């Protein structure tokens, strides 16, 4: 097991890539390998390697919880907004051999009305949000961003609770194009959820 991208000053855990044994065996990581990772860790298969990361710190969880609270009522339930979305947090998404666990992901309801009933999610999301931390930012901006582009995810957000920023990207002709970067107390009206603005301060514990 090899440690990757470790910052000695990091305070939110260590990410490891479990690729050595697979290389010796001449095979890629399998879903069986992933299932053997202890439940207190987050496991993903990215381009054949098994990546294991810690669960997030409270600041990270707060940002994710508050983003869910901002988006689900108007965009999933249709309360004060258009509805039409299915939003899920930390769900395994199986995409052509890769297994990703985005912090938040959304699917337009008309694409797959039975999504919530399926035992395994195999449809690429229409929108993904990753909450950045020191231990996972390199992976989120690297391998995972590439896989999301390959799978034609239309929209990608990066929330950084430490820097109090939101970056919005849109996939154009297979390439991620930065659309906007918001900070601190900005008002968020960003694709694909621009119909109902919300204050970015809602995502920061200190407001």
Segment 103-131, tens digit of pLDDT: 999 999 999 888 899 889 999 999 999 99
Same structural domain, 36 and 86: no
What is the reported pTM? 0.89
Whether residues 83 and 123 share a domain: the answer is yes
User: Within this chain, do residues 42 and 75 fall inside the same structural domain, yes or no?
Assistant: no
Q: Which domain range does residue 10 map to?
A: 2-53
Beta bridge partners of 172: 175
Rounded-to-5 percentages of helix, strand, coil across the chain:
25, 30, 45
Predicted confidence (pLDDT) per residue in 143-165, tens digit: 999 999 999 999 999 999 999 99
Question: Are both 171 and 95 inside the same structural domain?
Answer: yes
Q: Are residues 118 and 20 in the same domain?
A: no
- Mark whether 69 and 45 lie in a shared domain: no
| Positive/negative CA dihedral, 158, 192, 170, 48 | positive
For residue 27, what pLDDT band results from cuts at 50, 70 and 90? confident
The pLDDT of residue 9 is above 70: no
Task: Kindly state whether residues 101 and 114 are assigned to the same domain.
Answer: yes
How far apart, in Å, do the first and last CA atoms of the chain sit? 40
Same domain (yes/no): 19, 66? no
CB 82 within 8 A of CB 75: yes
* Residue 29 pLDDT exceeds 60: yes
């Amino acid at each position: 097991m090899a440690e990757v991208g470790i910052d000695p000053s990091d305070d939110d855990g260590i990410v490891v890539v479990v690729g050595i044994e697979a290389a010796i065996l001449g095979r890629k990581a399998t879903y069986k390998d992933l299932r053997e990772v202890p439940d207190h860790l987050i496991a993903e298969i990215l381009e054949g390697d098994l990546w294991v990361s810690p669960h997030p710190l409270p600041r990270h969880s707060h940002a994710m919880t508050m983003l869910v609270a901002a988006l689900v009522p108007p965009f999933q339930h249709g309360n004060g907004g258009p509805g039409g979305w299915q939003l899920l947090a930390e769900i395994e998404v199986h995409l052509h051999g890769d297994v990703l666990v985005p912090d938040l992901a959304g699917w337009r309801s008309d694409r797959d009305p039975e999504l919530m009933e399926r035992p395994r999610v195999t449809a690429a999301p229409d929108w993904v949000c990753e909450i950045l931390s020191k231990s996972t930012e390199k992976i989120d901006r690297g391998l995972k961003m590439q896989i999301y582009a390959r799978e034609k995810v239309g929209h990608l957000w990066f929330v950084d609770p430490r820097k109090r920023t939101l970056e919005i990207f849109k996939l154009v002709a297979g390439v991620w194009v930065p659309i906007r970067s918001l900070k601190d107390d900005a008002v968020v009206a960003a694709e694909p959820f621009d119909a109902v603005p919300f204050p970015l301060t809602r995502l920061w514990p200190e407001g």
